[in-house]
């Protein structure tokens, strides 16, 4: 019986691996297929598509029934494509899902390469599901879970973080497996009933406190609180058997695994999207991240398994060092970012002149970012990344042009600190941009605004060069 189960599980894993390997290609083919059928539809209104018997019905695109069948078949196919399932170790299976069709993560961050909702299944003497997924990909996740479970029943559902991108399937799992217990932190138990209308939900929870252990057999998960990384109820767990740190959102990253790789070693540019994720999503909470890093520093960690992005199995120090830099709000790279919010281009001209002057004086890696036309989350994370920042903006309704206002507002929210900043303003009758920028920047910790603040009147003229040159000198 056991051998049968193992064989069955192995077969399913084998199948899942094959699906995973060919899914990208299938998806491409599927896209070509859709494009072709669209063309066909335009060419002839009597187009009939016949697909292999047994799997697909023969139908016309022009009756509702036919189209519904087609849509359902394509949806199933799509579910299989998104459902990555991978064996991490002998008894740990990745059952997370990629989300490649999300428009905005957390309703504000562009994720052109998607995002992954990571989740794991530990098949030991006891069986534990580690986190669920966003409801957007709930079906795919459930499909993965049941394939990975095979004949077994789950004993525990570990909830490291209650944010809906990881917890949306909790109620469904509690209904499906009446004996399963939710293993989560004390604060999380209190919050669960806010998310799910299940009167008995708290009675089905095992409350974990700092240092508590969940014994699964070989695998032993030790829990540590990580409040505000990035919600108050967050706990991470460390598997004392295989050295895996289940780090909740810490060490997370934008980007689907099918796009960037399953392991960080396959992802040559991990820091770019991990930085954008960290600064914008967890960045405000540098102190709590430092506290977590301190706890983690005494653990013999061999693998970091975040709730988003690839598994980190190699060069752990490199990733931990980046997290240390980011959470202490230290600059990571040499360079000067000139952030510009210009209505008609006059302020932009002045910014370009400043760049030219800085480069002629030997400054390295000077670059301009048009705040009106580029992704704000990347601009914010680059402001944190580089050593120095220049803010150049038009005056606007006796205040500050709005793209700059929102940019500085986000910097305030994310506790931007400890930087040198230069200012350029532009105004046609009563320049007001620098006053507002100063007021906003004064609220930041340990920020130095260099002299002079350059004021341009409508368009830059040669008489403005000396002031721009003095600003360049002050920034070097």
Ligand X SMILES: Cc1cc2nc3c(=O)[nH]c(=O)nc-3n(C[C@H](O)[C@H](O)[C@H](O)COP(=O)(O)O)c2cc1C
Distance CA(208)–CA(217), nearest Å, equals 18
**Smallest gap from residue 292 Cβ to Fe ion (A):** 14
The residue (of 165 and 382) whose beta carbon lies closer to Fe ion is 165
Binding mask 286-325 for Fe ion (x = CB under 5 A): ---------------------x------------------
The answer to whether 49 and 59 are in contact (CB under 8 A) is yes
Interaction between residue 453 and ligand X (CB under 6 A): no
In three-state secondary structure terms, 268 is coil
The answer to whether 237 and 244 are in contact (CB under 8 A) is no
The answer to whether 387 and 354 are in contact (CB under 8 A) is no
Range list of β-strands (E), 371-410:
386-396, 399-400
Q: Which does 432 bind (CB under 5 to 8 A by kind): ligand X, Fe ion, none?
A: ligand X
Structure tokens at 80: 């299989």
Interaction between residue 249 and Fe ion (CB under 5 A): yes
**Smallest gap from residue 396 Cβ to ligand X (A):** 5
Structure tokens at 385: 């990344």
Structure tokens at 168: 């949306």
Distance CA(282)–CA(278), nearest Å, equals 5
Interaction between residue 396 and ligand X (CB under 6 A): yes
Q: Which does 426 bind (CB under 5 to 8 A by kind): Fe ion, ligand X, none?
A: ligand X
Give the C-alpha distances (Å, rounded to integers) separating 231 from 56, 172, 228, 442.
46, 23, 4, 28
**Smallest gap from residue 369 Cβ to ligand X (A):** 15
The position carrying tokens 């806010």 is 194
Distance CA(156)–CA(128), nearest Å, equals 5
Q: Which does 431 bind (CB under 5 to 8 A by kind): Fe ion, ligand X, none?
A: ligand X
Element (H, E) at 439: helix 433-442
The residue (of 9 and 410) whose beta carbon lies closer to Fe ion is 410
> Which residues are 220's β-sheet partners?
215
The residue (of 282 and 436) whose beta carbon lies closer to ligand X is 436
Binding-site size, ligand X (CB under 6 A): 19
Q: Which one among 12, 60, 458, 467 touches ligand X, defined by CB under 6 A?
A: 458
Q: Which does 137 bind (CB under 5 to 8 A by kind): ligand X, Fe ion, none?
A: none
Distance CA(192)–CA(213), nearest Å, equals 21
Binding mask 398-437 for ligand X (x = CB under 6 A): x---------------------------xxxxxxx-----
- Choices 42-50, 86-94, 222-230, 345-353; region in contact with Fe ion by CB under 5 A: 222-230
**Smallest gap from residue 470 Cβ to ligand X (A):** 21
**Smallest gap from residue 31 Cβ to Fe ion (A):** 28
- Choices 80-88, 249-257, 388-396, 467-475; region in contact with ligand X by CB under 6 A: 388-396
Q: Which does 381 bind (CB under 5 to 8 A by kind): Fe ion, ligand X, none?
A: none
**Virtual torsion, Cα 224, 445, 108, 304, nearest 10 deg:** -30
Q: Which does 165 bind (CB under 5 to 8 A by kind): ligand X, Fe ion, none?
A: Fe ion
**Smallest gap from residue 291 Cβ to Fe ion (A):** 17
The residue (of 91 and 163) whose beta carbon lies closer to Fe ion is 163
- Pair type for strands 366-370 and 386-396: unpaired
The residue (of 73 and 458) whose beta carbon lies closer to ligand X is 458
**Smallest gap from residue 368 Cβ to ligand X (A):** 13
Residues 320-379 contacting ligand X, CB under 6 A: 342-347
DSSP secondary structure string for all residues of 186-210? HHHHHHHHHH---TTGGGGEEEE-T
Binding mask 132-171 for Fe ion (x = CB under 5 A): -------------------------------x-x------
Q: Who contacts 119 (Cβ-Cβ below 8 Å, separation ≥6)?
A: 94, 95, 96, 97, 129, 130, 131, 132, 133, 141, 144, 145, 166
Q: Which does 418 bind (CB under 5 to 8 A by kind): Fe ion, ligand X, none?
A: none
**Smallest gap from residue 420 Cβ to ligand X (A):** 23
The residue (of 7 and 344) whose beta carbon lies closer to ligand X is 344
Range list of β-strands (E), 293-385:
303-305, 333-341, 366-370
Residue 311 CB-density burial (10 A; 0-12 exposed, 13-18 middle, 19+ buried): buried
**Smallest gap from residue 466 Cβ to ligand X (A):** 20
The position carrying tokens 């939710």 is 182
Q: Which does 82 bind (CB under 5 to 8 A by kind): Fe ion, ligand X, none?
A: none
Beta-carbon count within 10 A of 180 CB: 20
Structure tokens at 324: 């240390």
The residue (of 149 and 390) whose beta carbon lies closer to ligand X is 390
**Smallest gap from residue 341 Cβ to ligand X (A):** 8
Q: Who contacts 55 (Cβ-Cβ below 8 Å, separation ≥6)?
A: 73
The residues of the shown chain that bind ligand X, judged by CB under 6 A, are 342-347, 394-398, 426-432, 458
The residues of the shown chain that bind Fe ion, judged by CB under 5 A, are 163, 165, 230, 249, 307
């Amino acid at each position: 019986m056991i051998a049968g189960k193992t064989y069955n599980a192995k077969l399913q894993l084998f199948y899942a691996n094959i699906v995973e390997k060919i899914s990208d290609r299938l998806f491409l083919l599927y896209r070509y297929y859709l494009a072709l059928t669209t063309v066909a539809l335009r060419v002839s209104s009597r187009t009939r598509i016949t697909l292999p018997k047994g799997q697909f019905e023969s139908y016309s695109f022009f009756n509702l029934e036919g189209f519904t069948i087609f849509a359902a078949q394509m949806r199933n196919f799509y579910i299989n494509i998104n459902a990555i399932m991978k064996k991490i170790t002998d008894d740990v299976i990745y059952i997370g899902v990629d989300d490649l069709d999300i428009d905005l993560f957390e309703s504000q961050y562009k994720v052109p390469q998607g995002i992954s909702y990571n989740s794991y299944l530990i098949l030991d003497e006891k069986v534990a599901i580690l986190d669920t997924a966003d409801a957007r990909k709930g079906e795919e996740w459930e499909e993965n879970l049941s394939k990975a479970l095979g004949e077994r029943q789950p004993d525990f559902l570990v909830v490291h973080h209650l944010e809906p991108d990881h917890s949306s399937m909790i109620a469904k799992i509690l209904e499906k497996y009446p004996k399963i217990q939710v293993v989560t932190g004390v604060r999380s138990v209190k919050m669960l009933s806010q998310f799910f209308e299940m009167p008995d939900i708290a009675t089905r929870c095992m409350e974990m406190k700092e240092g508590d252990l969940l014994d699964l057999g070989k695998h032993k998960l030790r829990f540590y609180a990580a409040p505000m990384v990035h919600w108050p109820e967050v706990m991470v767990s460390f598997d004392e058997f295989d050295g895996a740190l289940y780090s909740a959102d810490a060490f997370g990253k934008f980007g689907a695994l099918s796009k960037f790789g399953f392991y960080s070693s396959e992802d040559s540019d991990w820091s770019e999207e991990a930085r954008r994720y960290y600064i914008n999503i967890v960045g405000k909470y540098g102190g709590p991240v430092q506290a977590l890093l301190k706890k983690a520093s005494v653990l013999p960690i061999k693998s970091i398994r975040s709730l988003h992005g690839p598994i980190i199995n190699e060069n752990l120090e490199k990733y931990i060092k980046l997290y240390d830099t980011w959470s202490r709000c230290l600059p990571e790279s040499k360079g000067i970012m000139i952030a510009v919010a210009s209505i008609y281009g006059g302020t932009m001209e002045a910014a370009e002149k400043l760049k030219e002057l800085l480069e002629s004086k030997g400054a390295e890696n000077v670059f301009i970012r048009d705040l009106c036309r580029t992704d704000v989350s990347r601009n914010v994370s680059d402001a944190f990344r580089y050593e120095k920042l220049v803010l150049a903006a038009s005056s606007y309704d006796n205040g500050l042009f709005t793209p700059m206002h929102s940019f500085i507002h986000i910097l305030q929210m994310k506790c931007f600190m400890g930087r040198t900043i230069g200012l350029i303003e532009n105004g046609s009758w009563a320049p007001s941009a620098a006053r507002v920028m100063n007021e906003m920047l004064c609220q930041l910790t340990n920020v130095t605004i260099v002299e002079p603040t350059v004021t341009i009147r409508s368009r830059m003229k040669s008489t403005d060069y000396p002031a721009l040159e003095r600003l360049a000198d002050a920034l070097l």
